[in-house]
Amino acid sequence: MAHISDLIATDIDAYLSAHEAKGLLRFITCGSVDDGKSTLIGRLLYESKMVFEDQLAALEADSRRIGTQGGALDFALLVDGLSAEREQGITIDVAYRFFSTDKRKFIVADTPGHEQYTRNMITGASTADVAVILIDARKGVLTQTRRHSFLVSLIGIRKVVLAINKMDLVGYDRAVFDRILEDYKEFAARIGLTEITAIPMSALKGDNILALSPATPWYDGPTLMAHLESVTVADRLEAAPFRMAVQWVNRPNLDFRGFAGLISAGAIRVGDAVRVLPSGRNATIARIVTFDGDLDRAVAGQSVTVTLTEEVDVSRGDILARADAPAAIADQFEATLVWMNDAAMLPGRPYLLKLGAKSVTATITEPKYKINVNTLEHLAAKTLELNEIAVVNLHVDQPLAFDAYQDNADTGGFILVDRITNNTVGAGLIHFALRRSENIHWQALDVGKLQRATQKSQRAGVLWFTGLSGAGKSTIANLVEKKLYARGNHTYALDGDNVRHGLNKDLGFTDADRVENIRRVAEVSRLMVDAGLIVLVSFISPFRAERRLARDLMDQGEFIEIFVDTPLAVAESRDAKGLYAKARRGEIRNFTGIDSVYEVPEAPEIRLDTGALSAEQAADLIIAELRLRGMLYDPGPIDNW
């Protein structure tokens, strides 16, 4: 629905044409709880005739029943759609609303004020051009005001409307307005917010929303709507170097191969030189194709398909950039990370990183520091909990083309996805590369894994024993190694207890330390497999994500997961080290099976039912499986490479 216009009745085509040509502004409202964010948006919808008659009737009924204005229209109810929001009188989720005026179209996001909904606020702010930060004139600048201003600055919004609301409750006192503005500017300067437009208003009564209020004759600035209609936001993107992430390779026939995507920055013309990243190949724009026909020039915000004069390899997720101003390429970054999941972030755990249309595997180091968003203080941290923000280093498994987030949000902003649940768990903003990938190369070697393993008359691989403490992993692994040794195979055993005496002696038993424990062992296992060995790894390794990390480090068929399936009661009855008894008494924390979870393998290559098999039988079963998989064979001549 759009605002009321005479053209709707007289010339609908002209109206639709004019409406289509309007620019779009996305903005958010944020601030402390009860500052009037939802009321302000409701007022904007109401005044711009964006409320249907049935909605107005429902608003009047709801205002009498659950409103907070003593039966008068409660405009916040137009936005707060969740029943919990209406019952509590607070905003929980992000609510998006559309409205328009003669000059512009708008999408506004009403974001929560509560700290526990920081992730919701970040989500709403991620696509906004302007932030409207509300302050209750009676309360002034509060901790939540500072927190939301910091988040606005963090996400890259530079244009701020300081809406000093509820001026009617302080008698429209100019001194109150001036004092709040000075307090806010002092804080804003510390976080880089300088483009501030302050407006005294009353969202409930409509003062300085659409028209200047006679109650504030001392104010000669714009109304809120006038400012939103006139603020400029797109110039910086259009002036930036050309960037377009390839979302689709369009190949309708043998004679056409185009690359479709949204231009996130800059402009491109037919004949311009571009660089395909991360490959680094240069090419020239042959055509700029749209549904309505070819263009000579396209700019930021347009979705187009381009063709190239040269036959170069371009895939989904690649970035087309201006040849003389390309994006950077790296596989290690410093970034600000906002954690958005109930389960804590665990350093070393692999996550999927999505940047534009590109998906890669990423691991996060221990946070460099956590940010107290209320005070801007830097705090030490080993993990991140829900809604926490930190500066971290992260590593991806292949080079990525990127820009710093402050230069281009589309090529510098990413999300993290849990590889098991596919839930979005974090959002990040890239600062800079920790190293340039093009300066570090794999050294070519004439003797490789195949030759090393063939010399040993075997095929290299990892036997990964997993199960509860006391399940019999080490016992069975020891028997398997003895049998392999007896037949002349070359092996090495990595046992959980033994490794903690050396390589991992600095790690404890928190979830974060368990993840790092397995990450290190997986990397060591990969090196040993490259040496041509059969590696026997005996670790509880309670988390599926880390077992998958280890599997992904190996080539196809090299990783054999062996689930030593022993019921907790049986493992506990063995308890040779007395660990279960200590855990039951609370003397050991984070003990797997008691107060720390063990995630059962979903599809192990080998499952050993220790209730039905002896250790000797289990070892023989594994040897038979290795023969079946071709990992063991009789000595023969080494291939002449």
User: Which active-site residues does the annotation give?
Assistant: 541
- Within 10 A of 118 (CB to CB), how many other CB atoms are there? 22
Nearest to 215 by CA among 201, 197, 227, 199: 201
Q: Are 164 and 181 in contact (CB under 8 A)?
A: yes
279 vs 353: CA distance, rounded Å: 19
Residue by residue, DSSP assigns 222-266 as --HHHHHHH---SHHHHHSPPEEE--EEEEEETTEEEEEEEEEES
The 8-class DSSP code of residue 47 comes to: H
Q: CB-based contacts of 637: which residues, under 8 Å, 6+ apart?
A: none
501 vs 517: CA distance, rounded Å: 12
72 vs 276: CA distance, rounded Å: 59
Q: CB-based contacts of 584: which residues, under 8 Å, 6+ apart?
A: 594
Nearest to 29 by CA among 119, 85, 91: 91
Nearest to 621 by CA among 634, 608, 640, 633: 608
Residue by residue, DSSP assigns 497-538 as HHHTTTTTTT--SSHHHHHHHHHHHHHHHHHHHHTTPEEEEE
Phi, then psi, of 379 in degrees rounded to 5:
-125, 145
272 vs 283: CA distance, rounded Å: 9
Nearest to 203 by CA among 104, 117, 115, 108: 108
Give the CA-trace dihedral at 527, 529, 532, 538, to 10 degrees: 120
Based on C-alpha coordinates, what's the Rg of the chain?
31
Q: Are 167 and 201 in contact (CB under 8 A)?
A: yes
Helix axes 473-486, 615-628, angle to 10 degrees: 50
Displacement of CA 363 from its chain's centroid (Å): 13
Question: Which structure tokens are listed for 143?
Answer: 């901790």
353 vs 392: CA distance, rounded Å: 14
Q: Are 424 and 433 in contact (CB under 8 A)?
A: no
Q: Are 134 and 29 in contact (CB under 8 A)?
A: yes
Long-range CB pairs of 252-260 (<8 Å, 24+ gap) are 256/307, 257/307, 258/287, 258/289, 258/305, 258/306, 258/307, 259/305, 259/306, 259/307, 259/308, 259/314, 259/320, 260/303, 260/304, 260/305
Q: Are 344 and 395 in contact (CB under 8 A)?
A: no
Question: Which structure tokens are listed for 372?
Answer: 């107290």
Whole-angstrom distance between the N-terminal and C-terminal Cα of the chain?
A: 72
Question: Which structure tokens are listed for 227?
Answer: 């400012």
Q: Which residues are 245's β-sheet partners?
A: 319
